[in-house]
Every structure is written in C-alpha cells, then in structure tokens.
Structure 1
Amino acid sequence: MSEEDIRYKQVQFGAWVGIIGNIILAIIKGVIGVIANSRALVADAVHSASDVVGSVAVLIGVRAAKRPPDRDHPYGHGKAESIAAIIVAVLLFIVGIEIAISAGKSFFEPVVVPKVIAIYAVIFSIIVKELMFRYKYNLGKKYNSTALMTDAWHHRSDVFSSFAALIGIGAALLGARYNFAILEYGDPIAGIFVALLIIRMAWKLGMESIHTTMDHVLHEEDTAPLREVASAVPGVLSVDELHAREHGYYVIIDIKVGVDPNITVEEGHAISKEVKRSLLEQDHVHDVLVHINPYKE
C-alpha cells in the first residue's frame, strides 16, 4: 500500500470518527436535554448535529482529493480538501451566530431551571469532544489535511459551547437553590462569550483555507531545502527561480535552473529529468515542472 493510500484511509477514518461521534452525542444530549428540561443542553445537541454536516463535507473533500489527475485537472484534485475546509469554516461561523442569537433571546424569556442530570451529560460531551479534537487535529497535522484540522477545531468549538452550557446550567441550579436570581442569567452571558470565540475561530480558519486555495506559494525559508536538493544535482549551476504551490495536502513545484549553455539539448533534458526525480522524492511533492536556462554569472 502506497503512502498516499495510507494517508487517504487514515484521513477518511478520521472523518468517520467525527460523523459517528457527533450523531451519538447529539442523540444523548438531545434526549437528556428534554428529560432535564435544559434549553442549553438541547441547543448544544443541535450544535453537535450540525457538526455532522461539517464532517460529511470533510469526507467528500477527502474522497475528491484522492482522485488522480485527469484531462481537466492535470494537477490533481488536492484543493478539494481546502474547499471542504472553507465549507466547515462557514458552518462554524453560522453556528457561532446562531448561539449568539439564542443566548440573546434567553434574556427576554422566562427562566427555566434544569435538572442535575444535565450537568453529567455536558461533562461527558466535553470529555468526548476534547478527545475527538486532539485525535483529528494530530491526524490532520500528520497528513497535512487542512479539512481535517479545520473540522478538529469545529470539535474544539463544541467544547467551548458545552463548557458555556455547563456554566449556565450550574449557575441556574445554584441560583434556584440559594434564591439568587442573577445567577440564572449565567447561561446567556457565557453563551454570547463563547459565540464570539467561535466566530473569531471560524473567520481565522476560513481565511487560512482561502489563502491556500488561491495558489499560495511556500515562503523562501520553507523552500530552502528544496533549492538545496535541486542545486545538488550534477550539471545544475544555479537555481534561478523556485515556486512551490500548495495544492491541498501536496505541493507542485515550478523551477528554473541554470546549466552550461554549451551542452546539447539532450544533456540539458537529462539534467532536468534528474532535478524532477530528486524533488519528487521529497515529502508532499506531487509534480515538478523544470525549465532550463543558460547559466550566466
């Protein structure tokens, strides 16, 4: 099995973990939220249900990125993962807006005190979501999957929203027990604060994904090792230009090298083939376009 096949299977498995995990959490929190009469927990269940859409988008993006190059897409379909990451970021932004609106409405509605069982459901959700975040983020970082890392931060946003629900439910229970009415508004206040964090996170992740999609090239310090590899090829007298374009989880290199102007075309072609072969051996490099220049001091 090739390294690319291993990557595909691992990233695909990570997406399925998100889908199945969110469905289970949405059902648990939804049922207990209704039983415990907790609006915060029911809203958190809806949040988890919306995450399923994001994980499905990641799964579709990963599958599309795996497709080999074709006539219309000679450089492959790697950007499908970046597009999936943008979709997840947009969903995350919408969820943040919805949480803020829901929290704001709570100030103008009758206060409902939930049952204690809601606390245990929220704590369980926080633990599971944090584990899902760490697993998917590390997996996405290992295999350079922007879609998986963005979806991982989606799980982290759930941790924040669940933590807000925990504070709100705890404050409501304490307020009811000690007859301290102002504590009952801890839920909407925490909800608005968390909503702002989620919106900020969605904006940051969305901008990074859009940046990658728009043919972003690696910075000079990142391409220095690639320049060294090309320079080490026998016959290469200079590396005049090197652009490594991010194409999803892999890069495509455009390079111009200077060679002795007095050699034959065949010899120059042989040097360019060796440059391409050497660069293709580097991590995440899927294609190399080499242009031969006559060397000038």
Structure 2
Amino acid sequence: MSRRTTVRRVGLLVLVANLLLVVAKGAVWWSTGSLAVGSEAVNSLADVAYSAVVLAGLYLTTRPPDFSHPHGHERIEPFVSLFVAVGVFAAGGAVLWRSTTTVLSGDVAVTASPAAVVVLAGTAVVKFGLYRYCLSVSDETRSPAVKATALDNRNDILTAGAALVGVLGGFFGFPILDPLAAGVVSVGILYTGWEIVQDNVDYLVGSAPPDDLRADIVRRALVHPEVKGAHDVVAHYVGPEIDVSLHIEVEGDRTLWEAHDIETAVVESIRSIDEVDDVFVHIDPKELGEWKADDSVDNLVSERQ
C-alpha cells in the first residue's frame, strides 16, 4: 500500500472513531451531568475538529509533486500538526476553566451511572487501539501529522482513566472527585498539545537531525575509496525531510567523468537514507588549497566508531 493511501486511511479512521465517541459521551453527559464525562466529550469534540483538519491536511500533503511544488507537499505536515496543537490547547483550557470554577463554587451534582463507566472504559480501549495503529503508521511513513495523532490518542487513554475515577467517585459518595478528575483530564490535554509543538518545531525552524543520522551521512561519504575527506557538512530539516549539502575532497588529477561518477555515487548513497530528500555534493580538488580539517566531521565519525 502506498504512503498516500496509508496516511489518508489513518485520517479517515480516526475521524470516524472520534465522531462515534462524541455521540456516546455526549449522550451519557446529557443523562448524568457528569463533568468528567462532559470534559471527555469536549475532548472528543476537539478530536473531531482536528481529525477533520488532519484528514484534509494529509490529502494535501500526499499529492504528487507539481510545477509549484517540485519536491512534493510533505512540508505542509508540520503546519497541520501545529494546528492540531492549537485545538488541543483550546480544549484543555476550556475544560480546566470549567473544572476549576466548579470546585471553587462547590456546586457539584453528579448522577452515578453504569453507562458512564462503560463509555469511559470503552474510550480507553478504542484509544489504545488507535494509538498503536497510528504509532505504527507514523514509524513507517515518518508522518509528523500521524505521529501527533498517535500522541493525542495515547494521552486520551490516561484522560479517560482520570474521568473514570471521577465517575466512580459519584458511586462511592465523593462527587468532588468528578470536577477534580476533569482538571486532571485538562492537564493531560494541555500536555499533549505541548508534545505536539515540541515534535514539530524542529521541522519548521530547520534544525539539524540527530547526531547518529548526521554521522551516517558522513560515513556514507567517506566510505567511497576516492573520497579523502569531507567538510562543511550541513544537514537540516525542511519539513519532515532532511536536505544535505557537503564538500568532499578528492585528488585534483581526476577527470571530469571520474569526478562526476564519484559525486553521483556519494549522492545516491546518502539519498538512500529514508529520512533524506535532497543531497548536494561539491567536489574540492586538493590542488586548489581548499582541503581543510572539520572538527564537527571528525567528532561525528569518532562517535560513530
């Protein structure tokens, strides 16, 4: 199955699942008045909104390259993920406000209901399945939007558990646990938003990839028998993919054909790394005096070894 089909299927599946959860939680909230279940309904409603955005975003990002976007549209994904984060922050803030005002006012009215227990336990089961599925797809496709969705589903398992504590509090005569649990749910929602932002900022600001990946890039350049050294190695994120540029050092008596073959071999070797998109290699002849040491390259190679 192609990457395009896989990530679009994830978006549609998550949207449908969240729609069903909103209906179930909303019905229980309406009949019981449980603030914990209500906060979970709000959380799922926010999930529906971001799922719709993610589905639309994944449709855009998986379109093939065109004249305006010759490298494809994958670089839109971090923006989609940050939009998800904004929605998550808004939902978390709303739930926190309501739970705080309820606790301070002391106006707590909860109807203990087995239906609330069932819907929250079912939510945890559904969200665990979605988390594992989305995480597997994100590892396979390196999609930041799908990973953001996986993190949100993981956190929903914990928030559903917290809401369940609040509902059970009504059964055992401690209704105050309901708004307190809603507060815990809100903190979990806000933390998920922070995680999503953290994961995507590097993609947007062009940060360098991890050292082990940079070391692998250098190693693939130096393993060629005609390459005597490398310097000015620059690897950075452009969206979820990595662009690489570097200078390699070869003997100056190589013919143009030989230099071209060396460059092509190095480019193809580095480009075969899954995370890498574009590779630019500049060849330096020794005789021009551009041969120089590069401490960062030496450190990466020594750490790799």
- TM-score normalised over the length of structure 1: 0.87
- Specify which of 154, 165, 168 is matched with residue 167 of structure 1: 165
Q: Residue 138 of structure 1: which of 124, 136, 150 is its match?
A: 136
Q: 1:189 to 1:42 in 2, by over 3 A?
A: closer
**Whole-Å Cα distance in 2 between the matches of residues 6 and 73 of structure 1?**
20
2:281 is the counterpart of 1:290: yes
Q: Does 1:255 align with 2:253?
A: no
Q: Partner amino acid for 1:102?
A: R
Assess, with a 3 A threshold, how the Cα gap between structure 1 residues 243 and 64 changes in structure 2: closer, same or farther: farther
Query: Does the CA contact (< 8 Å) of 1:79 and 1:248 recur in 2?
Result: yes
Query: Deviation at 1:71?
Result: 4.8
Q: Which of residues 9, 30, 49 is equivalent to 2:45? A: 49
Where 1:13 maps in the other structure, the secondary structure is helix
1:156-194 per-position Cα deviation (integer Å, ceiling 9, x unaligned): 23223322221111112211xxxxxxx211112222233
Structure 2 residue 23 is matched with structure 1 residue 27: yes
How far apart are residue 109 of structure 1 and its match?
Answer: 5.8
Return the offset for 1:234.
Answer: 4.1
Structure 1 segments unaligned to the other structure (5+ residues): 176-182
Which residue matches 1:178? none
2:108 corresponding residue in structure 1: 111
Partner of 2:303: none
Aligned partner of residue 20 in structure 1, secondary structure: helix
Q: Measure, in 1, the Cα distance between the counterparts of 2:80 and 2:197.
A: 10
Provide the rounded CA distance (Å) in 2 between the counterparts of 1:158 and 1:197: 8
Segments of 5+ residues of structure 2 without an aligned counterpart are 293-305
State the distance in 2 between where 1:24 and 1:196 align. Answer: 24
Q: Structure 1 CA distance, aligned partners of 2:18 and 2:126? A: 10
Aligned pairs for 1:1-297 (under 5 A) are 6-107=2-103, 108=105, 110-114=107-111, 115-175=113-173, 183-295=174-286, 296=291
Q: Within 1, Cα distance between the matches of 2:186 and 2:25?
A: 19
Aligned counterparts of 1:219 and 1:50: Cα–Cα separation in 2: 33
How far apart, in 1, do the equivalents of 2:247 and 2:58 lie?
32
**d(CA) in 1 for partners of 2:237, 2:162:** 37
Could you say what the CA RMSD is over the residues aligned between the two structures, in angstroms?
A: 2.1
- Percent of aligned pairs with the same amino acid: 26
SS in 2 for 1:217: coil
Q: C-alpha offsets along residues 13-51 of structure 1, whole Å, 9 cap, x if unaligned?
A: 111111010001111111232233434323322221210
TM-score, structure 2 as length reference: 0.85
Give the whole-Å Cα distance in 2 for the aligned partners of 1:13 and 1:138. 13
